[in-house]
Structure 1
Amino acid sequence: MSRPMIDGILETSVYVDDMDAAHAFYSRVLGLKRMVSGDRLYAYDAGPAQALLIFHRGHTGEDVETEGGVVPGHDLTGPSHFAFRIAEDQLQPWRSYLKEQGVDIISEVTWPAGGTSLYFHDPDGNVLELAAAPLWPNFYPEF
């Protein structure tokens, strides 16, 4: 049997200690619309067919039974990382906007392929990245 296809990443997650601070940051600073709100999970619209899941650290280790089946438990300690894709012409507006919002850019990297990444922290110390193509061989500028 040949290997079935993967269409991409549907969702990525980050774990936080303070759900209210996370919501303020991801909704107010980054402008993401919350789609789901619960005690252990917030889900945000991160672009077409993409979701950012914010989990309450320490509250997700147990399996959760739903009407549709069991969601296996998972958890993470320490900071994690994920990146948002942005257009190259949005780098300077993001630099200015983050400064205006009091969010320090902790690093800026120009990649050998020519793309640029801006790195900063969320309120829980997770490392977020705004990345302008190209970074990876499969990063197509037409997206």
Structure 2
Amino acid sequence: MFSNTQPPQTAIVPGTLRRVHHIAFNVQDLQASRHFYGNILGLHELTGEEVPTTLRSLVASGKVSNFITPDSTVIDLFWEPELLPPDADPQRAFTRANHLAFDIAPELFDHAVEVLKQHQVNIDHGPVTRPTGRGLYFYDPDGFLIEIRCDPEE
């Protein structure tokens, strides 16, 4: 049984893990995913010297694209052209990951929802309103569930 006062010696010391470093997705259509993450979600695509040195050869060969969120989390898109769809029904869970959530200012939430609808993004459900805020769940081009969410307006 774990003690609330001290972590067991086999655990990583709390506070050691600082932040999410990156999230990597395998994608079947790299151009469609680049368009989705860059042009629809508005994330900055890393180019030139911005690309991590460990990925530059893969980016140069067209096998990887990298995007960065405003809080500096990197999203790596690895092109896997032979990637089979996880399931014909995108509502069935197909990985251990549930979804990726992006935070947005409450005053920008409705506009973001409209942008997704204008681009005919496949929306799973929402917008939903909860005590923790509002959210909308939708799919990227490879069927991975994504959420945009905001804190409640004050």
Assess same fold via TM > 0.5: yes
Which has a greater percent of helix?
A: 2
Write out aligned runs for 1:1-143 (5 A). 3=13, 5-35=16-46, 36=51, 37-38=59-60, 39-57=62-80, 78=86, 81-108=99-126, 109-111=128-130, 113-133=131-151
Higher relative contact order (CA 8 A, sep 6+): 2
User: C-alpha root-mean-square deviation of aligned residues, in Å?
Assistant: 2.9
Structure 1: state its 5+ residue gaps.
Answer: 60-74, 135-140
SS at match of 2:74: strand
Q: Which runs of 5+ in 2 are unaligned?
A: 1-8, 52-58, 87-93
Specify the structure having the higher radius of gyration (Cα): 2
Partner Cα separation in structure 2 for residue 77 and residue 116 of structure 1: 29
CA–CA separation in structure 2 for the residues paired with 1:15 and 1:88 = 31
Counterpart CA distance in 1 for 2:35 and 2:125 is 23
Query: In structure 1, what is the Cα distance between the partners aligned to 2:122 and 2:69?
Result: 22
Tell me: CA distance 1:58–1:123, structure 2 relative to 1, closer, same or farther (3 Å): closer
CA deviation after TM superposition for structure 1 residue 47, in Å: 1.5
Opposite residue 119 of structure 2, the aligned amino acid is: Q
Q: Is the 8 A contact 1:105 1:119 kept in 2?
A: yes
Q: Which amino acid aligns with 1:28?
A: N
SS in 1 for 2:69: strand
- Separation in structure 2 between the aligned mates of residue 121 and residue 21 of structure 1, nearest angstrom: 13
Measured after TM superposition, the shift of residue 110 of structure 1 is: 2.7
Aligned AA (1:19): L
**8 Å contact 1:57–1:77 — kept in the other structure?**
no
In the TM superposition, residue 58 of structure 1 has moved relative to its aligned partner by: 7.0
Taking structure 2 as the reference length, what is the TM-score of the superposition?
0.64
CA-CA distance at 1:77 after TM superposition: 7.5
Q: Is this contact kept in 1: 2:29–2:81, CA < 8 A?
A: no
Taking the aligned partners of 2:111 and 2:39, their CA distance within structure 1 comes to 16
Q: Identical aligned pairs, as a percentage? A: 27
